[in-house]
Structure 1
């Protein structure tokens, strides 16, 4: 359960955070292996497109980059969506329909975050926790050994252009490997005594949820979170509660008690009609991670002047809404992908101050990624599933 809320509405750290971990790694002795284990995405499609190999060249950090020995890598919806080409506008169904086998028809040209064709093979993995094993030109070697997290929505490759998205594990190789490279400026040392698996559950889920809080300016008000038992959903519950909100969580009845334990004040069964359960105009902010046919009812749920933020549509990317609801109620709609720099930086601070904490339901060896994604698609778990790469050998 998250720590108790102080009178000021912010969570007190449970203990003083640990100093940054530094571990002597092979990179510091120039003993890095030449090849590594990694999962290569070979094209858009089913689970057969995930190829586990042990002969992939270990990347070398370029100027301004660091090489990270990956300790753990979280699984996210974006990994599945990218694999199956769900971002392509020709796909109109939810993620689950093509999650295992893929879709019959995908337009490769627009099947990514950026709307441009993905380059294959690609090492996916938006979440990576590990230790710096080597550094490129211009980066202090004092950083070798730091335990780090990588900002999943990278800004350096797009020269910090507003609304330009360059996703770790999509537009460049990510964390489903023993080693990965990332911009040094966007690789953050973390002062925490959490496990590697817990830290690997943070970057994508918590930055996505914090971005929604930031864009919708969530405060001391009534906030509804859909998909509340998943990684991003639980993060949103914790982060909204951190801001002093009264949190209503939409989840299955079997997970209601667990979601309440993470800070929700009330739950609504995901099969229920939200208007019947809560009443129209009863919520200030909707944090929607599901999309699909329920969007119209979620807009009806908002009070006049309410805000609707969306950052996922696993329930389906196409929704029918009544535009009169938007303009007659002065509803603000926020599509949330691009993240201001402060969003990820704030997440690191929350972790170090123990103001939030992820739930990791299960871990898998990296080579079991197909089984892990199959389990992920069932949505029977709470929070996050995490992959563990094998220890490298010289």
Structure 2
């Protein structure tokens, strides 16, 4: 089969980036309890870029990147029930979460390096990670949903306990998880406010259901956002750094802040009285359980929500797709089509 292969380990901090190779590799065979999926589409995540720079734990080579994918079942292994060849499916990239919904097993991992991922024509995957594709979704939309949709669902619904009428603040709109968080919160009846350095992205967010937004390059953006939103019942943060302090300032008394990333790095000069006098709830979140994946799919299907796809590239142009992601100009997900 054709696949994209990562072959080099890069020393973190070297600023070098590992090459990706488009080549022939053996087609996997499903074992007991596994399913072989003929992939139609895959999608990019920031994780894929971090791996190429050596900025991710547990990297092994050679391996096939890619966490998100959708396709058609080609073969089912022994003992698999509820699926058959020809079923259209989407893959949950949260591997071996375990029995405790509060946190994952020590053996938990994310699909795609070191476990061979979705940048390929075929993938073998445990049956528990395979879900029937919602009929209304295109192949591109289905591939866009898994990792970012699951992360957003756990952050907004499970951890954030979003309720109808809540004011939800999402900084840095445009990335995959932030965009899904907007869609999920809006579907739950929340009033969502966003930030971006792009007026175009703010306008697109409003089209998706946001109540408003501000440009964080504005000198007084925090005051402006506080004025139009009234403050946040819930903030969903992937930024960290100084932005996290701003979200604490924006939070209402008793508010919740859920963090799933820190693109700006550590939070410096955190004034703790602002946390405890406001009785804030600050929570970490990442990925999610199989049950949450099913709930996320059901929410999208019930409300016929369309995942936002920014651009589509053929698999062999994965380097161009990665460059597009690194530039950070996209709104929504970047998707790869898999050749026949």
TM-score, normalising length: structure 1: 0.78
Are 1:37 and 2:6 counterparts? no
1:261-281 deviation digits (Å, cap 9, x = unpaired): 001001111323443213397
Are 1:205 and 2:171 counterparts? no
Aligned length: 327
Is residue 187–residue 303 contact of structure 2 (8 Å, CA) maintained in 1?
Answer: no
* Separation of aligned partners in 1, 2:321 and 2:232: 36
1:267-304 deviation digits (Å, cap 9, x = unpaired): 11132344321339721111112222211111111011
Q: 5+ residue gaps in structure 2? A: none
Is residue 17–residue 53 contact of structure 2 (8 Å, CA) maintained in 1?
Answer: no
Name 1:72's counterpart in structure 2. 41
User: 1:205: how far off?
Assistant: 1.4
Name 2:224's counterpart in structure 1. 277
Return the match for 2:330 from 371, 376, 381: 381
Are 1:126 and 2:67 counterparts? yes
Are 1:172 and 2:115 counterparts? yes
Indicate the larger mover: 137-146 or 239-248.
137-146
Are 1:356 and 2:300 counterparts? no
Indicate the larger mover: 219-228 or 38-47.
38-47
Name 1:309's counterpart in structure 2. 258
* Separation of aligned partners in 1, 2:204 and 2:154: 24
Name 1:238's counterpart in structure 2. 183
Return the match for 2:314 from 365, 370, 373: 365
CA-based RMSD: 2.1
User: 1:63: how far off?
Assistant: 1.1
State how 1:181-260 maps to structure 2 within 5 Å: 181-213=124-156, 214-220=158-164, 221-251=166-196, 252-260=198-206
* Separation of aligned partners in 2, 1:39 and 1:199: 23
* Separation of aligned partners in 1, 2:160 and 2:215: 24
State how 1:52-201 maps to structure 2 within 5 Å: 52-86=21-55, 111-112=56-57, 117-140=58-81, 143-155=84-96, 159-160=98-99, 162-164=103-105, 165-201=108-144
* Separation of aligned partners in 2, 1:56 and 1:351: 35
Are 1:337 and 2:286 counterparts? yes
TM-score, normalising length: structure 2: 0.89
